[in-house]
Structure 1
């Protein structure tokens, strides 16, 4: 890669693919971050793959231009380092979440993370795509989504999820989404 991408309205999932082809989302980047942060750390490549989950706009800057400011140790560098800290929190929290929280809680947290990175209450994702992102079976996602629909928290029609009651979704989510959100707010809004 020769460019960094700064999503404005797009959402990009960082997917980790195993040797057997299985894959799981390890992080998500939207308007709060940058795709390609590893390039600023001197890496030429990554084992993760960026997959656009929500099409939209992004700024694209040549890495050589960004490195010029980054290497001066100024506020630009500090901002990228703060974002990297939030990214590490997201990856670590996701790892703990997959090990210790129920699928329904993980689903709620993932939906909230997506909502935090976009405008509006609707998300375009199929149950199959969600299952791939969470590294679980599609049937489990379908059952969890059905419970949330039956409780009036969301509506799902043909790959489109509409959150009807965000407060209830937050109550059903594990603490992981709020840990990630609070860390992003603490580190990225106090610039």
Structure 2
């Protein structure tokens, strides 16, 4: 089997954070695909047999759909993370629908291969455990935000989260998609965006929303975006740029120290 080129690792921050020996465990099993906006990565109830790593400016969303046709976003994942069987030990049914919000390249890995690699490497296992905790934190914070905070604050949280993953002020999102993510009517969302525009926070265009004053938006938004950001920094060692963009993940030193405690590594060093 051919080995994935280095570019496969550079487009996604989790893959980029891997040590060379951990990359070697995954490289033969990585595949790169292009997805379009609206494509489905997996559906609720279906077996999730692979992990998807959004690369560059690709963004995926975990969505819960109700019987009446309404839906709501529970997590937004870009180049900082992955979706699929990140935590489970095999092919388990999905509880959510994963769709591509912004199209682009996605690197995919068979879920069984990831589990094999985690069993062989303490450092790789630690990285994905930390990321899984951060993804769960984002989901739980989203649940609390949707239940307790007004639509204006939920709207700002969603825009800030998306900007973190794209690193650009202009976000390619339509009113229709935005309303679906928030679980509200499009006409209602349009009124809210008009208010935010009158406050000088955003500029609304056709098929795009431009953030005009991120600092002020962070100040008046609810605490949810900041809480998730701090958790990523503390647990995953996430580094953010001055414009809020996620630049890299660098797990705290105990994660690297854990590699030296891996039994296989200890035996290997003893035999040298």
TM more than 0.5: yes
TM-score bucket (shorter structure): over 0.9
Q: Structure 2 matches for 1:141-180, cutoff 5 A? A: 141-180=189-228
Q: What is the aligned partner in structure 2 of residue 106 from structure 1? A: 154
Which residues of structure 1 form unaligned runs of 5+?
A: none
| In 1: Cα distance, 2:95 partner to 2:112 partner | 22
Task: Assess if the C-alpha contact under 8 Å between 1:155 and 1:164 holds in 2.
Answer: yes
| In 1: Cα distance, 2:85 partner to 2:110 partner | 12
Report the Cα offset of residue 119 of structure 1. 2.3
Report the Cα offset of residue 157 of structure 1. 0.8
Q: Which secondary structure state, in structure 1, belongs to the residue aligned with residue 80 of structure 2?
A: coil
| In 1: Cα distance, 2:187 partner to 2:234 partner | 37
Q: What is the aligned partner in structure 1 of residue 168 from structure 2? A: 120
Instruction: Indicate yes or no: 2:107 matched with 1:56.
Output: no
Instruction: Indicate yes or no: 2:35 matched with 1:3.
Output: no
Which residues of structure 2 form unaligned runs of 5+?
A: 1-47, 238-249, 252-272
| In 1: Cα distance, 2:124 partner to 2:138 partner | 21
Q: Deviations over 1:83-121 (max 9, x none)?
A: 111111111111111111110100000000001111211
| In 2: Cα distance, 1:41 partner to 1:143 partner | 45
With 42-51 and 81-90 compared, the bigger mean Cα shift is at 42-51
Report the Cα offset of residue 43 of structure 1. 4.5
**Rg larger in 1 or in 2?**
2
Instruction: Indicate yes or no: 2:140 matched with 1:92.
Output: yes
Return structure 1 stretches of 4+ with deviation > 4 angstroms.
none
- TM-score normalised by structure 2 residue count: 0.66
- TM-score normalised by structure 1 residue count: 0.92
| In 1: Cα distance, 2:162 partner to 2:174 partner | 14
What's the Cα RMSD here?
A: 1.6
Q: Which secondary structure state, in structure 1, belongs to the residue aligned with residue 83 of structure 2?
A: coil
Report the Cα offset of residue 39 of structure 1. 6.4
| In 2: Cα distance, 1:177 partner to 1:142 partner | 22
Task: Assess if the C-alpha contact under 8 Å between 2:89 and 2:115 holds in 1.
Answer: no
Q: Deviations over 1:62-83 (max 9, x none)?
A: 2232121112351111111111
Structure 1 residues 181 and 175, CA, compared in 2 at 3 Å: closer, same or farther? same
Report the Cα offset of residue 176 of structure 1. 0.4
